[in-house]
């Protein structure tokens, strides 16, 4: 369940990144590369995001964490070990891997990953979360964590995080 | 279906709250404590949020309403009485309470609330909504309402609402 | 699968729209009217949104695209033809049209559209997406597209898009 940043790039879209860091304004963007290890896997990214927010020196604003993929998802819940198994069970219940999906059928589709279930599960879970920042920190409840669902791994997955400061 | 604010706190993270109120800029945050009365219950928070937006004196921007819990959800739809029953029926269909979830099984989990269904339903519904503000008001369709789903009550639930003004 | 703007209105909520266009600040709002042609239909709005973002002259910020309806949804995935059929199949699996929903039953409901399935499917898919803007363009992955699901058409559907520039 550990999380790693394989690469972090700070984009300088409008030249205001420095201002954002020192004065609580502007926008900061991080690109995260996450290496997953299984076909279906749920990763806790909270500490990673929290560290980025804290080091951003932004008093208040919004944080948006977006998956760049159609077979991963980002959502909020509690990564208790037994519950993570239940989430995988829920996904299998909602969009079973073995169902006769057209996306997996060479008569209808040129996709060779046979990953219809992964797309459908990603749609149900959602591709991004938008969280609040207040007093320089993420606004989250005691048990809430930011989770990434790998649904068709293992692969290297790219996420993009934007911290938008209020003025 | 009535909604009440049990407590509203205006946070002063960056000292710009006053500016936000009087000049249409900055960020305003409200903490909402909502007392629910049943295990599963859907509450309409639209009027509450609308009042907060209107009193914020913000011309344009975004409003983010976030649950601080892993067994409540925030979503948009129409709280017609018959449909509310259907939504509960949908949730039971997607994540049945009586299923043999590991989170409810003392062999795998130390959670004594037996609330796996509530976590799973919250994941499907989503933990927050982000809405647009234009001309000082929420941008919503005629039948759209902001709904909170209590999924493991009754309890006092905390939500946080942020109004982020555009500049 | 083609998309059309039937009408686009630029709102001038705070008189800063011009600044937004020319200086990379403020907020720009577009109202989109989309005519759908079937009861259930998934439309790719990416090019439309991309064009609006590019012409907005905003370096960095957020884009929120919101449905104004309780029986349409906005989500992110890949509109491969076979997969679109699978998404409709998933929706039928999660909230079957023929189920005995109370919203469709005259004993409990005055709704004459018999569209409980459409409401429930919209709740699962979500009513809006919030995307990042960086370097003047949408931040999206190679296969990601912005999709609108018509769930109770054909009708003319209204969406509202807000581009919020960071400062």
Structure confidence at residue B47 (pLDDT): 97
Residues near C133 by beta carbon (within 8 Å), at least 6 away in sequence = C53, C58, C59, C60, C61, C62, C63, C139, C163
Q: Is C23 on the interface with A (CB under 8 A)?
A: no
Give the percent of chain A with pLDDT over 70.
85
Nearest to B154 by CA among B124, B113, B123, B109: B113
pLDDT band at A87 (very low <50, low <70, confident <90, very high): very high
pLDDT digits (tens, 9 = 90+) for B75-119: 999 999 999 999 999 999 999 999 999 999 999 999 999 999 999
Residues of A in contact with B64 (CB under 8 A): 62, 130-132
Structure confidence at residue A167 (pLDDT): 76
User: In Å, what is the CA distance from A20 to each residue of A23, B167, C15, C167?
Assistant: 6, 15, 26, 9
Ranking A11-25, A43-57, C77-91, C128-142 by mean pLDDT, the lowest is A11-25
Ranking A163-167, B134-138, B162-166 by mean pLDDT, the lowest is A163-167
Q: Is A164 on the interface with C (CB under 8 A)?
A: yes
Residue A72 parent element (H or E): strand A72-77
Structure confidence at residue A135 (pLDDT): 94
B3-14 average pLDDT score: 40
Q: How far apart are alpha carbons C72 and B3 in whole angstroms?
A: 26
Residues of C in contact with B24 (CB under 8 A): 14
Residue A11 has pLDDT above 70, yes or no: no
State chain C's mean pLDDT as an integer. Answer: 88
Residue A24 has pLDDT above 80, yes or no: no
Angle, CA of A138, B47 and B3, to the nearest 5°: 80
Q: Is B85 on the interface with C (CB under 8 A)?
A: yes
Structure confidence at residue C32 (pLDDT): 97
Tell me whether residues B105 and A82 touch, CB distance under 8 A.
yes
Give the CA dihedral B129, B85, C86, A130, nearest 10 degrees: 10
Return the biggest CA–CA distance within chain A.
57
Give how far A107 is from chain B: nearest CA, Å. 30
State chain B's mean pLDDT as an integer. Answer: 88
Crossing angle for the helix pair B81-94 and C116-125, nearest 10 degrees?
60
Q: Is C166 on the interface with A (CB under 8 A)?
A: yes
Whether ipTM exceeds 0.85: yes
The subunits that touch chain C, with at least 3 C-beta pairs less than 8 Å apart, are A, B
Residues of A in contact with C167 (CB under 8 A): 16, 25-26, 165, 167
Residue C147 has pLDDT above 60, yes or no: yes
The subunits that touch chain B, with at least 3 C-beta pairs less than 8 Å apart, are A, C
A3-24 average pLDDT score: 38
Nearest-by-CA chain B residue for A26: B167
Q: How far apart are alpha carbons B66 and B161 in whole angstroms?
A: 6
Tell me whether residues A119 and C24 touch, CB distance under 8 A.
no
pLDDT digits (tens, 9 = 90+) for C97-115: 999 999 999 999 999 999 9
Structure confidence at residue A10 (pLDDT): 41
Residues of B in contact with C116 (CB under 8 A): 83, 86
Residues of A in contact with B26 (CB under 8 A): 60, 166-167
Q: Whole-prediction pTM value? A: 0.90
pLDDT digits (tens, 9 = 90+) for A89-136: 999 999 999 999 999 999 999 999 999 999 999 999 999 999 999 999
Q: Is C63 on the interface with A (CB under 8 A)?
A: no
B116-145 residues touching A, CB cutoff 8 A: 116, 119-120, 122-124, 126-128, 130
Count Cβ–Cβ pairs < 8 Å, chain A vs chain C: 122
Structure confidence at residue B26 (pLDDT): 87
For chain B, where are the E strands, in sequence order? 8-10, 27-35, 41-44, 61-67, 72-77, 128-134, 137-138, 145-150, 156-165
* C-alpha R_g of chain C: 17
Nearest to C69 by CA among C164, C134, C160: C160
Structure confidence at residue A28 (pLDDT): 95
Query: How many other C-beta atoms can be found within 10 angstroms of the C-beta atom of residue A20?
Result: 25
Residue A1 has pLDDT above 90, yes or no: no
For chain B, the distance separating the N- and C-terminal CA atoms, rounded to the nearest angstrom, is: 36
Structure confidence at residue C14 (pLDDT): 35
State chain A's mean pLDDT as an integer. Answer: 88
Nearest-by-CA chain A residue for B102: A82
Crossing angle for the helix pair C81-94 and B81-94, nearest 10 degrees?
110
Structure confidence at residue B40 (pLDDT): 98
**DSSP for A9-70?**
-B--SSS-HHHHHHHS-SEEEEEEEEE--SSSEEEE-HHHHHHHHHHHT-SSEEEEEEES-S
Structure confidence at residue B167 (pLDDT): 76
Q: How far apart are alpha carbons C20 and C130 in whole angstroms?
A: 19
User: In Å, what is the CA distance from C19 to each residue of B25, C23, C24?
Assistant: 15, 5, 7
Give how far A161 is from chain B: nearest CA, Å. 17
Q: How far apart are alpha carbons B116 and B96 in whole angstroms?
A: 9
Nearest to B123 among A60, A75, A81 (CB): A75
pLDDT digits (tens, 9 = 90+) for A25-50: 489 999 999 999 999 999 999 999 99
Structure confidence at residue C25 (pLDDT): 47
Tell me whether residues A27 and C129 touch, CB distance under 8 A.
no
Tell me whether residues B66 and A143 touch, CB distance under 8 A.
no
Nearest to A132 by CA among A69, A78, A73, A76: A76
Nearest to C64 among B62, B75, B77 (CB): B62
Q: Is C61 on the interface with A (CB under 8 A)?
A: yes
Residue B19 has pLDDT above 50, yes or no: no
Q: How far apart are alpha carbons B116 and B106 in whole angstroms?
A: 12
Residue B6 has pLDDT above 50, yes or no: no
C155-166 average pLDDT score: 97
SS3 C118: helix
pLDDT band at C26 (very low <50, low <70, confident <90, very high): confident
B14-24 average pLDDT score: 35
A61-67 average pLDDT score: 98
């Amino acid at each position: 369940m550990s999380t790693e940043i394989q690469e972090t790039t700070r984009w300088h879209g409008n030249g205001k990144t420095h201002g954002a860091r020192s004065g609580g304004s502007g926008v900061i963007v991080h690109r995260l590369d996450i290496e997953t290890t299984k076909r279906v896997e749920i990763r806790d990214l909270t500490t990673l995001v929290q560290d980025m927010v804290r080091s951003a020196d932004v008093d208040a604003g919004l944080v948006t964490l977006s998956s760049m993929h159609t077979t991963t998802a980002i959502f909020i819940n509690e990564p208790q070990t037994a519950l993570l198994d239940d989430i995988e069970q829920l996904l299998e219940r909602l969009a079973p891997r073995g169902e006769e999906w057209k996306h997996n059928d060479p008569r209808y589709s040129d996709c060779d990953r046979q990953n219809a279930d992964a797309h459908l599960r990603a749609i149900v879970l959602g591709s991004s979360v938008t969280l609040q920042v207040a007093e320089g920190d993420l606004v989250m409840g005691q048990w809430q964590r930011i989770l990434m669902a790998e649904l068709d791994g293992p692969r290297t997955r790219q996420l993009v995080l934007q911290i938008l400061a209020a003025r």
